[in-house]
Copies of this chain bind each other. A is one copy, B any other.
């Protein structure tokens, strides 16, 4: 690979002569094709009309912003003067159901110029994917959802561009990674058939679209890559994640787990990839993804219990007064309760060991974590036995998925050497706690890698490096999507995983057994 590693190419063409009378456009295309490694370079007619005068004005030198189309052919997205002072930018978009992140990068240097995070304005219509897809049935519903996200991006972009000191016309390329429903709504595609058997999206490979057609206010000829999906439940955000962690280039078999509004798992290496999504199995309904509240200031994200004093050591996000507990906090808590013998291997609260913190209300056990006087809400903050039961189902589901997907290729969860954890889950979870309760396999902690926002990371990669554009397609087409068949075998595994850490304790040799 001798191609340069950016979409921006400085070219200096051999000037035409009687011995080389190739046309202007073809002369430019020849140089760009060579540099990008494509068979052709498409130019818009409008650019073609201006090209002969520009090339002569610039003495056959120029700065080109390239991209590719869905068929892998080159596109000339923009042509600037050879020594243009304009910053040539790209926009990476993580199109989340709950929040959207924009990142502007300098296409020439690769510098990350700035980021903007905002709540997906579609939340006003419905908090989750399902509610939004139902909203499409209402008159003008699809158009309304489409406008909300397009306007939301344009509004945030205006401010972000100001902050970065650029104009929106400086942005020539964008890459958008999101789940299948969110990308459908961005493109104005009806997602109604995604939630009806047999769960069919409108498109798997949207390819490259004019940003103007999407309604995103960038340079008039800017191009947008919308990440492809593998199906209704395995979206472009995961494809971006695979790209970001380089699973498709690794010799060793790695696993990527992303728990956001849904739980998705990919296992693989440079030769093959298996994927599945939690939403496919009814056993997971209300499972992994519905524990606790959304992370935010004052939300408990980590808890430990002093083994001697049994005192709680609570950490909240931004160190604010506690107002709730998020998924990672619940996992930490369950692990601590288990280690200190306050819950049994079924996850049941043991009143004797919990002491004053335990109360029985309407026949349901409650454990107080923060008394009313110390919480932000002015009320006792705690969890119930029902919350713990829910966690046990969730962790069992997660472990069963891991066991099923590794089992499909003759591996076991404990054989894994590289374990990527993405999304909010990855950002907050303590693998040691997740291992203690048997949610994640008992691997050395060094095997676990928090990827952060891998969807944004993958979208950024595509803008940083043309080779990554091609990898997106190869990743998409190289994934074998496994329907999680909730059959007797799955349910047996699920049942075996409903104990802490597992009925087969030999799988979790590092987990300290509760004293009790």
A: residues with CB less than 8 A from B are 16-18, 20-26, 29, 38-40, 42, 45, 48-49, 51-53, 56, 69-73, 187-190, 192-193, 197-207, 209, 213-214, 229, 231-232, 483
Contact = CB atoms under 8 A, between A and B. Distances in A.
B52 A190 contact: yes
A111 to B, nearest CB: 31
Nearest to A56: B193
A26 B205 contact: yes
A197 B53 CA distance: 15
A315 B38 CA distance: 57
30 contacts: A16-B200, A21-B232, A23-B202, A23-B203, A23-B204, A23-B229, A23-B231, A24-B202, A25-B202, A25-B203, A25-B204, A26-B203, A26-B205, A39-B71, A42-B207, A45-B187, A45-B209, A45-B214, A48-B202, A49-B187, A49-B188, A49-B189, A49-B202, A52-B190, A52-B192, A52-B202, A53-B190, A69-B71, A69-B73, A71-B71
B52 A231 contact: no
Contacts of A201: 23-24
A18 B192 CA distance: 16
Given A22-B200, A23-B201, 11 more contacts: A17-B198, A20-B198, A23-B202, A24-B202, A25-B203, A25-B205, A42-B207, A45-B214, A48-B202, A49-B188, A52-B192
A71 to B, nearest CB: 4
Contact of A189 (B38, B48, B73, B190): B48
Contacts of A203: 23-26, 48, 51
A175 B372 CA distance: 78
Contacts of A21: 198-200, 231-232
B209 A16 contact: no
Nearest to A46: B213
Contacts of A42: 69-71, 207
B193 A52 contact: yes
A190 B50 CA distance: 9
In the complex, the count of this chain's copies comes to: 2
Nearest to A193: B52
A199 B23 CA distance: 9
A198 B40 CA distance: 25
Contact of A40 (B29, B70, B193): B70
A71 B206 CA distance: 18
Contact of A23 (B25, B188, B200): B200
A440 B131 CA distance: 79
Nearest to A22: B204
A73 B39 CA distance: 11
A224 to B, nearest CB: 10
A24, A29, A38, A52, most chain B CB atoms within 10 A: A52
B18 A483 contact: yes
A61 to B, nearest CB: 16
A275 to B, nearest CB: 13
A26 B483 contact: no
Contacts of A200: 16, 21-24, 52
Contacts of A45: 187-188, 209, 213-214
Contacts of A49: 187-190, 202
A53 B483 CA distance: 26
A71, A72, A214, A229, most chain B CB atoms within 10 A: A71
A260 to B, nearest CB: 21
A249 to B, nearest CB: 23
A189 B45 CA distance: 9
Contacts of A22: 200, 204
A71 B73 contact: yes
A69 B43 CA distance: 12
Nearest to A24: B202
A229 B49 CA distance: 17
A495 to B, nearest CB: 25
A73, A189, A206, most chain B CB atoms within 10 A: A189
A197 to B, nearest CB: 7
